[in-house]
Amino acid sequence: CAGRAGPERGSRGGAAMDLFGDLRRMNKRQLYYQVLNFAMIVSSALMIWKGLIVVTGSESPIVVVLSGSMEPAFHRGDLLFLTNFHDDPIRAGEIVVFKVEGRDIPIVHRVIKVHEKGNGNIKFLTKGDNNEVDDRGLYKEGQNWLEKKDVVGRARGFLPYVGMVTIIMNDYPKFKYALLAVMGAYVLLKRES
């Protein structure tokens, strides 16, 4: 069995030395090729995301449920698929994702009351299935109803617990950066067979 002299691959310092050694052994053409591959992967992901935005009509076509306020319908970590076609009327019982002025994170809750005026304006009230009271306490001060402009999307489907990876990466930023570094190094150092 042939061996390799130097630091063991399992050690932290050894792995970093191997990474830099692999980079040094690549000629410029190979390195440019790997960087272009990485750029193509990133740009492809962005194009798919923008395409989903156009097809679904939602500024955020996929969201992760971050709390247990919608249990038992949705659990923390569920991945929701959204659409937001403005011609579709909002109805009581529908699950919407909305943004409130002053809050960065959208909220996933159910529409419990709808007010339709003669001029076509619609206002509605939301509530989490697992909450005791409606969402008026979550809206901006003085706001008692939501309008269509507040809606990011409407839930059309979901995958259970798939979004837990996102929650873990938000809760543990070091894990997120380590995962991104490993994925980036893999793409840059992966060689065609």
The residue type of 174 is K
Q: Known catalytic residue: 86?
A: no
Catalytic residue among 11, 58, 67, 69: 69
Mention the CATH class of domain 62-160: mainly beta
pTM beyond 0.85: the answer is: no
Q: Known catalytic residue: 135?
A: yes
Q: Distance between CA 161 and CA 163 in Å, rounded?
A: 5
- Is the Cβ–Cβ distance between 9 and 18 less than 8 Å? yes
For strand 107-116 and strand 95-98, is the pairing parallel, antiparallel, or unpaired?
A: antiparallel
Catalytic residue among 58, 104, 134, 135: 135
Instruction: Please say whether the dihedral angle defined by the alpha carbons of residues 151, 155, 158 and 161, taken in this order, is positive or negative.
Output: positive
- The closest alpha carbon to 107, from 65, 71, 56, belongs to 65
User: Other C-beta atoms within 10 Å of 127: how many?
Assistant: 19
Catalytic residue among 109, 129, 134, 193: 109
- Domain spans of the chain? 14-56, 62-160, 162-192
The tens-digit pLDDT sequence of the chain (193 residues) is: 444 444 444 445 555 556 556 656 667 777 788 788 889 989 999 999 999 999 999 999 999 999 999 999 999 999 999 999 988 889 999 999 999 988 888 999 999 999 988 777 899 999 999 999 999 999 998 899 999 999 999 999 999 999 998 898 888 889 888 888 888 788 777 765 5
Residue the block writes with tokens 């659990």 = 75
